Amino acid sequence: MVEFEVPEIDYDQYSNRQLAVVPLVVLLVAIAVLAGSWMLTGSPVALGIEFTGGSQLTVESSMSTAEIGSTFSPEPVSIQGVGGEPNQYVLTFEPGSGSVTSLVDQAEGAGMTVLGSGETPATFGQESQRIALIGLAIAFVGMSLLAFALFRTFVPSMAIVISAFSDIMIPLAVLSLLRVKLSLGTVAALLMLIGYSVDSDILLNNHILRRRGDFYESTYAAMRTGVSMTLTSIAAMTVMAVMASFFNITLMAQIGFVLVLGLSVDLMNTYMLNLSLLRWYKLDGVSQ
Amino acid sequence: MNLRENWRVVLLLVFVVGSGIMLLVPGAPPGTAGGSGPTNLQYGIQLDGGTQLQAPPVGITAEEVNVSADNEAALASNVSDALSVDPIDVRVSADSSTVEVFVGNVSQERLRSVLEAAGYQPSTVRDGVTQQTRQEIVDVVSDKLTQSALDSGSVSTIRSTSGQTFVSITAPDRDLGELQSLLDERGVVRVYAFYPADNGTYVRQQVLEQGDFARISPAENQQGQPVVPVTIRETVAEQYQQDMVEYGFGQQTVCNYDREEPQSSRGRCLLATLNGEVVFSGGVEQGLAELYASGEFAKSPTFQMQTRNMSEARELEISLRAGRLPAPLNFEESRSTQLEPALAQQFKLNSLVVGIMAVFAVSGMVYLRYRNPRVALPMIVTALSEVLILLGFVAAVQYPLNLSHIAGFIAVIGTGVDDLIIIADEILQQGEVATGRVFQNRFRKAFWVIGAAAATTILAMSPLTVLGLGDLSGFAIVTIVGVLVGVLVTRPAYGDILRNLVLRQEQREK
């Protein structure tokens, strides 16, 4: 039977600098990816229809994708097959392709069965972009203030804020590289990530700062609990991501995927970046 | 087992039982009739199919127009003449000091200059309509929906952060085209007498307009005949009666109206039009004709409009009763989602499967971690009870469930179990939990971390509840309620359960 026991890592072998450099380099690469994408495409991540505006149809048809495309005027910008359903396709249209009712008429005129449709006007999309940014900003600032309120010291609080920041940036960079389009689901997942990622950081800070005992003992106690927590969440989210993409429930698949990425990154950030900052703060006399 | 010592467990049981009742007993949530489906859960269009449409009303509003109640009508006709728009598209209100024009092509400057020419000084002229008009739109739309559908759907207004207001309509059992045409009907109803003049050609004379109806009763079947009984206002009844006699309806008439070629119709007809289109034509029966002729009709001015079938009768009734939308909705700027019920059913089943699999994954991890069913089993049961309480909450407030909420449930299982792991690790750490006091102390330590983590999650999610990002407010609300239920009810109860198990085990080992 599989033993699931959190290994005790011999942190003594590594200097703070060695520990911190890995997550920081990954973070810098992520920021570079996002900045590069911003310069090349005008947006750090590809935006989905909810943020750019446009129309979407889910149709059932025995025609080939090329035939389906040529049925419409203007033609859809993308035609995606639905997993597990050989004759179902999701068609995406740019904003200004006419009203969704006229697209539905065109599809039905060509003998397709329309299973679903959606439309977001471009103005609505820009509004959503703005709201999503505001939401993320409020959540992040709120979380940072709370971190400072809880620990009331600069280095440990800052450690929480940096690792939460990195937990968001790295998954975003992965989405950007994979050209996955940002949707409302991914924004929700990024917000969830703020909540999840802070859990393990607070746990670690709490064990090291607020309890008596040896630094490494406290660290190991916190790790045992924290790693179990994060792995459990990763298990739940992996199942959600895999099953939901199998069933083609896009929203749940996206939330699951982003959280799996973010939680994995969080393991690195918490037990390398945050830990090295805390050790430097606690042992190298910054606190004295 | 001492009840007072274990009040947290008792509280959890109370919540679980209450949620079970809300979820399963038909009619338990306030304001529901009960009956449909095995649970009291409401499903949104993503899980049940249907159409959702969010559209802004068309119109511009001039504010702080100091018009007196007596001058309302005069200003309204002045404005409609000057802008050459239909009088029904202008609304002047002395109460709110506003003038609204419900036509897309009138600029703010035009309205301002027309008002200034009439001697008024509006402070601002803005896009959009007044709160009162929006409320009326909501009322009329929900009227239209309830009167035309089995499953009525819902209507509300939502406000975007930029200040624009949208009317949001959810109609579970119709597609977008049907919904739009239902809304498009502005329901301008007029009633005409249609009769051959002396030279033999047919003429059409208006005898009633929408405002003349005092009461429109529901469509009904009278001796197998679908009818809509209507009552007209006493103030116009006398005139209407005279008109009818003058146009030859003082005796029984037969109507054979030709919609394609009105001039080739036969007989004398009473016509009702909706937006200029004839929706009803019929002759006058003997009994009613006698009442017109004798002048008795005006004393009790009620008659029935007969239609060919019940659905026509319902449509006629909606047109007459619900009236028109005070302002049309702008479909060009609308956001819509439509899903076929079959696909939605598929999502419903599949997302349930995903949820169950996620629970299995979590349970498996917890078991592998602790290897002790005494610790792991209560953990899983507690996490599940959290989901049950959430489902009970959702059923109690009759919140329509969508995919985002199911994702929220799974997120709640995730955070919930995280916190239970913190509690278990803290309490089961090396050293015996010999006394209640040690237990209390450890539990409090664990709770500090849980409380702090819960506070951050709530904080991170709270912007979503108020910012209008569609479905995500539901996701955020479910997550926040889940975290609150967890911190206040289920996690303290898990602590108690664990204490009982651990203390008893240690006592046994002594």
Distance CA B338, CA A116 (A): 5
CA distance B322 to B274: 12
Sheet containing B50-55: give its strands across: A78-82, A85-93, A54-60, A113-120, B335-339, B50-55, B165-171, B154-159
What phi, psi does A264 have (nearest 5°)?
-65, -45
Cα B49 to Cα B47: distance, rounded to the nearest angstrom: 6
A118, A104 contact by CB (below 8 A): no
Query: Domain for residue A5, yes or no?
Result: no
Structure tokens at B476: 């955020």
Q: Are residues A224 and A89 in the same domain?
A: no
Which of A120, A147, A171 terminates a domain? The answer is A120
In this structure, the answer to whether residues B239 and B294 fall within a common structural domain is yes
Asked if residue B149 belongs to a domain, the reply is: no
Sign of the CA dihedral running B505, B506, B507, B508? positive
Paired tokens of B441: 């102390």
Residue B384 sits at the chain A interface (C-beta within 8 Å): no
Please indicate, yes or no, if residue B181 is contained in any of the structural domains: no
**Least CB–CB distance from B357: residue in A140, A225, A243:** A243
Residues of chain B with pLDDT under 70: 1-2, 31-37, 73, 87-88, 147-152, 160-162, 185-187, 214-218, 275, 314-315, 318-319, 321-324, 430-436, 468-471, 504-510
Best to test chain B binding among A59, A119, A186 (most B CBs inside 10 Å): A119
In a domain, A63, yes or no: yes
Nearest of B431, B364, B356, B420 to residue A4 by alpha carbon: B364
- Residue A233 is assigned to a structural domain of this protein: yes
Coil, helix or strand for B250? coil
- Answer yes or no: are the C-beta atoms of B390 and B409 closer than 8 Å: yes
Q: Is B27 left (phi over 0), alpha (psi -120 to 50) or beta?
A: left
B350 touches chain A (CB under 8 A): yes
Out of B357, B460, B468, the one facing A143 most closely (by C-beta) is: B460
* Closest to A139 measured CA to CA, from B284, B336, B467: B467
B168 touches chain A (CB under 8 A): no
Considering only CB atoms, which chain B residues are within 8 Å of A240? Answer: 354, 357-358, 407, 410
Q: What is the pLDDT of residues B258-271, one digit of tens each?
A: 888 888 888 888 88
Q: Are residues A164 and A269 in the same domain?
A: yes
Identify whether B249 is part of a domain: yes
Please indicate, yes or no, if residue B236 is contained in any of the structural domains.
Answer: yes
Residues 284-343 of B with CB under 8 A from A: 331-340, 342-343
Let me know if residue B293 belongs to a domain: yes
Q: Do B396 and B505 share a domain, yes or no? A: yes
Q: Partners of A113 in the beta sheet?
A: A60
Residue A168: give its domain's CATH number: 1.20.1640.10
Contacts (Cβ under 8 Å, ≥6 apart) of B222 = B304
H or E element: which one contains A87? strand A85-93
Put simply, the answer to whether B365 touches A4 (Cβ < 8 Å) is yes
Residue B85 is part of which domain span?
60-129
DSSP alpha helices (H): ranges in chain A?
16-41, 49-52, 65-71, 100-109, 122-151, 154-177, 184-210, 215-246, 250-268, 275-283
Does residue B174 form part of some domain? no
Q: Is B369 on the interface with A (CB under 8 A)?
A: yes
Nearest to A195 among B162, B461, B469 (CB): B461
CA pair distance B212, B231, nearest whole angstrom? 9
Q: In the listed set B96, B111, B129, which residue is the last one of a domain according to the structure?
A: B129
pLDDT on residue A157 = 92
> Which of the listed residues A69, A88, A120 is the one where a domain comes to its end?
A120
Chain A: closest CA distance from residue B368 (Å): 6
Does residue A87 surpass a pLDDT of 90?
A: no
Q: Peptide bond before A74: cis, by omega within 30 degrees of 0?
A: yes
CA distances in angstroms from A44 to A137, A175, B326, B335, B441, listed in the order given: 16, 10, 44, 25, 48
Q: Which amino acid is residue A225, in one-letter code?
A: T
Distance (Å, rounded) from C-alpha B221 to C-alpha B77? 41
Residue that has been written with the tokens 């909420």 in this structure: B405
If you search the block for the tokens 């996955």, which residue do you land on? A180
What is the token pair recorded at B23? 């979820």
Reply yes or no on whether the pLDDT at A205 is more than 70.
yes
Our CA-based measurement puts residue B462 at a distance from the nearest CA of chain A, in whole angstroms, of 8
List residues bridging with B231 in a β-sheet.
B215, B302
Q: What is the pLDDT of residue A167?
A: 93
Same domain, B423 and B311: no
Sequence-distant (≥ 6) Cβ neighbours of residue B49 within 8 angstroms: B172, B173, B339, B340, B341, B342, B343, B344, B345
User: Which of B129, B146, B165 is where one domain is finished?
Assistant: B129
- Residue B186 pLDDT: 58
SS3 B327: coil
Answer whether B361 sits within 8 Å of A119, measured CB to CB: no
Q: Are residues B396 and B495 in the same domain?
A: yes
Q: How many CA atoms lie within 13 Å of B6's alpha carbon, on the beta-carbon side? A: 15
Cα–Cα distances (Å) from A143 to A106, B263, B448, in that order, read: 49, 75, 16
- Pair of tokens at residue B70: 């007596």
Q: Are residues B40 and B64 in the same domain?
A: no
**Domain check: are A250 and A217 in the same one?**
yes
Tell me the residue type at B275: N
Cβ-defined contacts of B395-399 (< 8 Å, 24+): B395/B19, B395/B22, B395/B23, B395/B28, B395/B29, B395/B39, B395/B40, B395/B41, B395/B42, B396/B19, B396/B22, B396/B28, B396/B29, B396/B30, B397/B29, B398/B29, B398/B31, B398/B32, B398/B40, B398/B42, B399/B42, B399/B474, B399/B477
Instruction: Looking at the structure, tell me whether residues A205 and A173 fall in a common domain.
Output: yes
Whether residue B366 sits in one domain with residue B309: no
Q: Which residues, at least 6 apart from B155, have a Cβ–Cβ distance to it below 8 Å? A: B138, B141, B142, B145, B167, B168, B169, B170
A94 and A77 in contact (C-beta within 8 Å)? Answer: yes
First and final CA of chain A: distance in angstroms? 48
| Claim to verify: residue B314 and residue B430 sit in the same structural domain | no
Q: How many domains does chain B have?
A: 3
Whether residues B347 and B493 share a domain: the answer is: yes
Query: A159 and A257: one domain?
Result: yes
A142 and A267 part of one domain? yes
Tell me what pLDDT residue B32 has: 64
SS (H, E, C) B201-240: CEEEEEEEEHHHEEEECCCEEECCEEEEEEEECHHHHHHH
> Which residue type occupies A239?
V
Q: Assess if residue A6 is contained within a domain.
A: no
**Is A100 in the same domain as A226?**
no
Cβ neighbours of A230 in B, within 8 Å: 418
B-chain CB neighbours of A232 within 8 Å are: 362, 365-366, 369, 414, 417-418, 421
Q: Distance between CA A283 and CA B101 in Å, rounded? A: 72
Residues listed for chain B:
510
Domain identity same for B41 and B108: no
Give the DSSP H/E element, type plus range, for residue B13: helix B7-24
Q: Quick one: A128 and A247 in the same domain?
A: yes
Hey, what amino acid is at B417?
Answer: V
B433: in domain? yes
Is residue A69 in a domain? yes
| Lookup result for tokens 């209100």 | B93
pLDDT at A90: 85
Amino acid identity at A177: L
pLDDT attached to residue B65: 85
Asked if B361 has any chain A CB less than 8 Å from its own CB, the reply is yes
Say if residue A114 is in the same domain as residue A129: no
- Determine, yes or no, domain membership for A255: yes
**Residue B110 maps to which CATH number?**
3.30.70.100
Q: Quick one: A21 and A113 in the same domain?
A: no
Residue B115 lies in a domain: yes
Q: Which three-class secondary structure state does DSSP give residue B102?
A: coil
The first and second tokens of residue A106, run together, are: 């065109």
State how far residue A176 is from chain B, nearest Cα, in angstroms. Answer: 22
B459-483 burial string, b = 16+ CB within 10 Å, else e?
A: bbbbbbbebbbbbbbbbbbbbbbbb
Could you tell me if B372 and B504 lie in one domain? Answer: yes
Q: Which residue has the tokens 């009162």?
A: B132
Let me know whether B98 and B201 are in one domain.
Answer: no
Within this chain, do residues A103 and A218 fall inside the same structural domain, yes or no?
no
Chain A interface includes B414 (CB < 8 A) = yes
Measured N-to-C along each axis, helices B373-396 and B7-24 cross at an angle, to the nearest 10 degrees, of 50
* Residue to test with chain A: of B170, B471, B472, most A Cβ within 10 A: B472
Hey, which bits of B57-164 come out as E strands? 60-63, 90-93, 98-101, 124-127, 154-159
Same-domain status, B228 and B301:
yes
A92 and A130 housed in the same domain: no
Residues 254-283 of B with CB under 8 A from A: none
Contacts of residue B419, defined as CB under 8 A and 6 or more positions apart, other chains included, come to: B450, B453, B454, B486, B487, B491
What is the predicted pLDDT for the residue at B476? Answer: 85
ipTM over 0.90: no
When pLDDT is averaged across residues A178-193 and rounded to a whole number, the result is 86
Residue A78: give its domain's CATH number. Answer: 3.30.70
Domain boundary pick from A97, A120, A143 = A120
Higher pLDDT, A48 or A173: A173
Token match 């890592």: residue?
A: A9
Cβ contact B469–A120 (<8 Å): no
Number of domains chain A contains: 2
Mutate to test the interface with B, among A49, A101, A103, A134 (most CBs of B within 10 A): A101
pLDDT tens digits, residue range B359-407?
A: 888 888 888 888 888 888 888 888 889 889 988 988 888 888 888 888 8
Average pLDDT, whole number, for chain A? 86
Q: Provide the residue range defining the domain that includes A28.
A: 11-48+124-283
The alpha-carbon radius of gyration of chain B (Å, integer) is: 32
Find, among B422, B457, B483, the residue nearest to A203 by Cα.
B422
CATH of the domain at B444: 1.20.1640.10
Q: What is the pLDDT of residue A288?
A: 46
